[in-house]
Amino acid sequence: MARDRFIPRPQTCLAGVPFACAQDAWFWFIQAHDARAEGARVVAGLSRIPRPCEPADILRLVDRLYRQRRLIRDHLCVLVHYGRRLSAPDPRRRTEARAALLWREAFDSLTPTLLAKGIIQDDSPARPESLAA
């Protein structure tokens, strides 16, 4: 009788390197999503820089915010358009002023959630112990 073989999958030692900011996470997500749409295979643990999440995790967060009506369709259109350009809209340009406002509103909703999940790193300065009490 044949025995089942146990072959462990390689695990990375690191839990993942969090993104510097929510915009970096969004640009990474858009690139991964577009690559997958073009036929690339997304496999966990095989990237050059291990990340604390998968692209589907960010998609789920955005979907949840959309269903909670914290993001609207205009937010999503701006996020996708400028995400594919890999640059934020410039509020100084008259044609991008509304897009810049929507971009900022969207990231105001996304950032706390990404921070709570550990996807982005917390760069807020630590409070001194004397002020904490």
Structural domain of residue 102, as residue ranges?
A: 22-37+53-121
Supply the pLDDT for residue 20: 94
Sign of CA dihedral 88, 109, 79, 60: positive
17 located within any domain: no
Q: Which tens digit of pLDDT belongs to each residue from 19-71?
A: 999 999 999 999 999 998 888 876 766 677 888 889 999 999 999 999 999 99
In order of 3, 49, 126, the CA distances from 129 in angstroms are 59, 34, 9
Higher pLDDT, 14 or 122: 122
9 located within any domain: no
115 located within any domain: yes
Q: How many domains does the chain have?
A: 1
In the predicted model, is pLDDT for residue 128 greater than 80?
no
Supply the pLDDT for residue 93: 95
44 located within any domain: no
